[in-house]
Amino acid sequence: MAGLAEAGRRETMLTALRVGSGVAFFAAWQLTAMSHVFSDFLLPSVPVVAERLWHDLISGDLLYGVLLTLIRTFIGFVLAAVGGVALGVSIARIPLVRWFFDPLVSVGLPMPKIAFLPIFMLWFGVFDTSKVLMVTFSSIFPVIVEAWAGTQNIDKYMSWSAMSLGVGRHRFLWEIALPAALPQVFTGLQVALPIALIVDIVCEMQMGGEGMGGSIMTDMRFADSPGVFAYIIAIAIVGMILVKAMEIVRRWLLVWHQETQTA
């Protein structure tokens, strides 16, 4: 168990470095603001932004916006996760499905899918449905690709061992293929979640209304720069929390994986 203690010490050191780096960042910001190289409008000082952040927090506006953004992001993400895994696994295992979707996926991957937003608005209106579906459309591609690769690249010999031990064709998918593909599938999910958040925020910025994206655009239109900065900090924090949460889930889910062991 010495390895675990060492890993713990390293984590603490890394966190300390991150905090230190963050402090340096805010210090640099504050010093630049105070030097008045840029106007108070362009670069409000840290206390002003912090105060604004606090104000929005206790008034409940911030939390409400965060909640709405997160709900839309999550629903879109979950749809992408379920659909993406189902599709990715099917592509790996069924030749006809692969023939049909392979070119679609490789063409679709590098396209800026955000360009489809006006189409989604045409089809689904200017409310939550189009936002959620846009999120799904954008974030499903990495899930498909990773689920496909993960299922396709299962160790042949491990599959053969399972067959030799008597697993039936139908049980094979759930008992062997999916658990074996899980590390790569989860990587796809880890890539997809930040994409889901970005896309949702862009949709909110474009369509307005409530949610972090809408609020930040409103503040911008009112030339409320402390508000804009406050929301950026809030969005950054939400993004960091989501990524960290995924990392924690990964470590728990993949406790058996060699990367967890050697960490």
Partner 1 sequence: MAGISFREVRHTYRPPRGRALLALEGVSLDVKDREFVALLGPSGCGKSTLLYLLGGFIPVEQGEITVGGKPVDGPSPDRGIVFQHFALFPWKTVRQNILYGLEKQGMPKAEREKRAQEFIELVHLKGFEHSYPSQLSGGMRQRVAIARTLAVEPEILLMDEPFGALDAQTRALMHEELLAIMRRAPKTVVFVTHDVREAVYLADRVAVMSARPGRIKEIVDTKLKSNARGEELLQTQEYAEKVDHLWKLVRDEAIRAQGTRE
Partner 2 sequence: MSGAAALEAATTRAVTRPLMARLTAALLRALPVILLGAAWQIAPSIGVINPESLPPLSAVATAWWGLLMDGSLVSNGLSSMWEIIIGLGLSIVVGIGAGVLMAWYAPVDALVSPLMKSLYPMPKSALIPVMILWFGLGIGSKIASIFSGCLLPVVLSSYNGARGVDQTLIWSALGLGASRRRVLWEVVIPGALPEIMAGIRNALAISFILMVAAEFLVGQNGLGYLISFLGDGGVYDAMFAGVLTVSAFGFLADRLYLLLMQRMLRWRD
Q: Which residues bind partner 2 (CB under 8 A)?
A: 14, 17-18, 20-22, 24-25, 41-42, 94-96, 99-104, 107, 109-119, 121-123, 194, 197-198, 201-202, 205-206, 212-213, 216-217, 219-220, 223, 225, 228-229, 231-232, 235-236, 239-240, 242-243
Which three-class secondary structure state does DSSP give residue 22?
helix
**The pair of three-digit structure tokens given for residue 166, joined into one six-digit string:** 């008597």
* Closest distance of CB 173 from partner 1, Å: 14
Which three-class secondary structure state does DSSP give residue 60?
coil
Chain centroid offset of residue 118 CA: 23
Query: Residue 255 is which amino acid?
Result: V
* Closest distance of CB 166 from partner 2, Å: 26
**The pair of three-digit structure tokens given for residue 254, joined into one six-digit string:** 């993949």
Contact between 180 and partner 1 by CB under 8 A: the answer reads yes
User: By CB under 8 A, what part of segment 216-255 binds partner 1?
Assistant: 255
Q: Name the one residue in this structure whose structure tokens are 């340096």.
A: 24
* Closest distance of CB 150 from partner 1, Å: 13
Size of the site for partner 1 (CB under 8 A): 21
Give, rounded to a whole angstrom, the gap between the first and last alpha carbons of the chain: 12
Q: Name the one residue in this structure whose structure tokens are 């031990």.
A: 165
* Closest distance of CB 159 from partner 1, Å: 8
Q: Which of 223, 221, 195, 217 is nearest to 205 (CA)?
A: 217
Contact between 165 and partner 1 by CB under 8 A: the answer reads yes
Alpha helices in 94-127 (DSSP H): 95-108, 117-124
Contact between 155 and partner 1 by CB under 8 A: the answer reads yes
**The pair of three-digit structure tokens given for residue 143, joined into one six-digit string:** 């899930």
User: CB atoms < 10 A from the CB of 259, how many?
Assistant: 10
Torsion of CA 142, 85, 245, 258, to 10 degrees: -90
* Closest distance of CB 99 from partner 2, Å: 6
Sole window of 39-47, 151-159, 219-227, 241-249 interacting with partner 1 (rule: CB under 8 A): 151-159
| Binder of residue 41, out of partner 2, partner 1, none (CB less than 5 to 8 A by kind) | partner 2
Contact between 154 and partner 1 by CB under 8 A: the answer reads no
Sole window of 13-21, 176-184, 185-193, 216-224 interacting with partner 1 (rule: CB under 8 A): 176-184
Angle in degrees, 0-180, between the axes of helices 95-108 and 128-152, rounded to the nearest 10: 120
Per the CB < 8 A criterion, the answer to whether 38 and 32 are in contact is yes
User: By CB under 8 A, what part of segment 19-58 binds partner 1?
Assistant: none
Contact between 179 and partner 1 by CB under 8 A: the answer reads yes
Sole window of 88-96, 116-124, 173-181, 190-198 interacting with partner 1 (rule: CB under 8 A): 173-181
Query: Residue 2 is which amino acid?
Result: A
Residues of the shown chain interacting with partner 1 in the complex, contacts defined by CB under 8 A: 155, 157-158, 160-167, 176, 179-180, 182, 255-258, 260-261
